[in-house]
Amino acid sequence: MGVVLLALGGTISVPGRGRGARLSGAEITAAVPGLTELGVPLDVRDVQAVPGGSLTFAQFLDVVAIASRAVAEGADGVVVTQGTDSLEETAFLADLVWPHEAPFVLTGAMRQPAMAGADGPANVLAAVRVATAPEARGAGALVVLNDEVHAARWVRKTHSTSTATFASPNTGPLGHIVEGRVRMLLIPPRHEPLPAGPDRKRLEDARVALHVVTLDDDGDRLQGLEATHRGLVVAGFGVGHVPGALAPRLGALAEHMPVVLTSRTGSGPVLRHTYSAPGSETDLRRRGLIDSGFLDPYKARVLLRLLLAAGAGRDDIAEAFALRG
Ligand code: GLU
C-alpha cells in the first residue's frame, strides 16, 4: 500500500548558498502543498545525497533493488527524487531491469527549493500521483516533471536551466497531469527485463566509452581503447556517419569489442543502408558496427554496459539493440 519515495539528492534537495545541509526526503515532502490531502501513505527513505552527476550504475541498481523489494512487499509504486543531470540515463537503466507492473517514477527539480517558483514540490506531487495511477501501471520507468509523463526510453534533458527541460523529441510525452488527474495518452511496449543484479565486478569491468564524432575528427582519442574498455558507443554525424578516414579504426575496434553506432543529433534514428561512402552507415555496418536505431548515445551506452555486465556476446548485443533500438 502507498508509495515508497527514495531521495537521492540533486537540486530538489539543495538549500541554497549559506542555508545549511541538503534537505532530507522528509523535508522535501513536507514542503509539498496538497500531498497530505492525496491520502497516499508515503514511506520516505534517504538513500543518497549527491548531485545527479555523481550517481553510479552500481548505486542506482541498488536503488532499483530497494524499490523492487518495497513493491514486492506491497507498495503501489515508487518515486525517486534525484538530480536531473543524469536522470535520462538512470531512468533508462531502471526501465531496462524493472520487472513490476507498479510504476517506477523519477523526478527532480530545476530550481532550488528556496528560489521563486521552485518546481520541486509540484514535481513531487505529480510523481506521487503517477506512481499510484492505475493508468500508469505496466508502463515501466517514467519521468515526471512539469506536469508531463515521459517514457524513460525516450526522454531527454534538452535545456540546462528551463523547468520544461525534459522532452521526448521522438515521441512527445506519454501523458499529462491535468487538474490533478493523470491522463496517459500512450503506454509504450515493454520488453523482457534484463538481469537487475549483474555481478558487481563484471559491472565495474564493463567499461563503455562514448566517442562523439566532430569535424575533421582523426580518432586520436580512440587509440589503445582495446586495452581499457569493453565496448564503445559512437555518436556519429546525422544518420550515423563518420569521416571516411575514421572508418577503418572503428572497424578494427569492432573486432575486439561491440561498437554501437548512434546519432549525435538528439533525435531520429541512424540509418542502415541508404549511403555507401567510406564512413557511411552502410560502410560502418559492413565493418561490424551495431546500429542503435532510435536509441540516443547516452541510452545506448546504458544498454551496452548492462548487456556486457550480464555477459552478453556480440550476437546477443546486436539482437538487443535491434529489439530496443
Ligand atoms: N545539477 C545537479 C542536478 O543534477 C544538482 C547539483 C547538486 O545536487 O548539488 O540536479
Return the pLDDT at 19.
80
State which residues form the domain around 166: 3-184
156 phi/psi in degrees, rounded to 5 = -130, 150
Return the pLDDT at 204.
94
Q: How far is the CA of 242 from the centre of ligand 1 (A)?
A: 33
Q: Supply the mean pLDDT for the chain.
A: 97
Return the pLDDT at 320.
97
Please provide the DSSP assignment of 73-84 as one string. TT-SEEEEE--G
Q: How many domains does the chain have?
A: 2
Check whether residue 170 and residue 293 sit in a common domain.
no
**pLDDT-derived band of residue 198, with 50, 70 and 90 as boundaries?**
confident
Return the pLDDT at 20.
81
Check whether residue 157 and residue 231 sit in a common domain.
no
Residues in the chain: 325
Check whether residue 180 and residue 271 sit in a common domain.
no
Strand partners, 259: 232
Position in ligand 1 atom list of the atom nearest CA 87: 4
Q: Which residue has the cell 551496452?
A: 304
Check whether residue 153 and residue 238 sit in a common domain.
no
The Cα 224–Cα 113 span in angstroms is 45
Last residue of a domain, one of 159, 184, 209: 184
Q: What is the pTM of this model?
A: 0.97
Position in ligand 1 atom list of the atom nearest CA 108: 10
Q: How many angstroms separate the first and last alpha carbons of the chain?
A: 35
- Does 290 fall in a domain? yes
- Does 194 fall in a domain? no
Last residue of a domain, one of 131, 158, 184: 184
- Does 21 fall in a domain? yes
Check whether residue 280 and residue 164 sit in a common domain.
no
In the predicted model, what is the mean pLDDT of residues 74-88? 98
Strand partners, 152: none
- The two beta strands, 175-178 and 181-184, are antiparallel
282 is catalytic: no
pLDDT tens-place string over residues 3-45:
999 999 999 999 987 788 999 999 999 999 999 999 999 999 9
Check whether residue 155 and residue 280 sit in a common domain.
no
The protein residue whose alpha carbon is closest to atom 9 in ligand 1 is 51
pLDDT tens-place string over residues 235-280:
999 999 999 999 999 999 999 999 999 999 999 999 999 999 999 9
**Ligand 1 within 6 A of 120 CB?**
no
Last residue of a domain, one of 184, 216, 234: 184
85 phi/psi in degrees, rounded to 5 = -60, -40
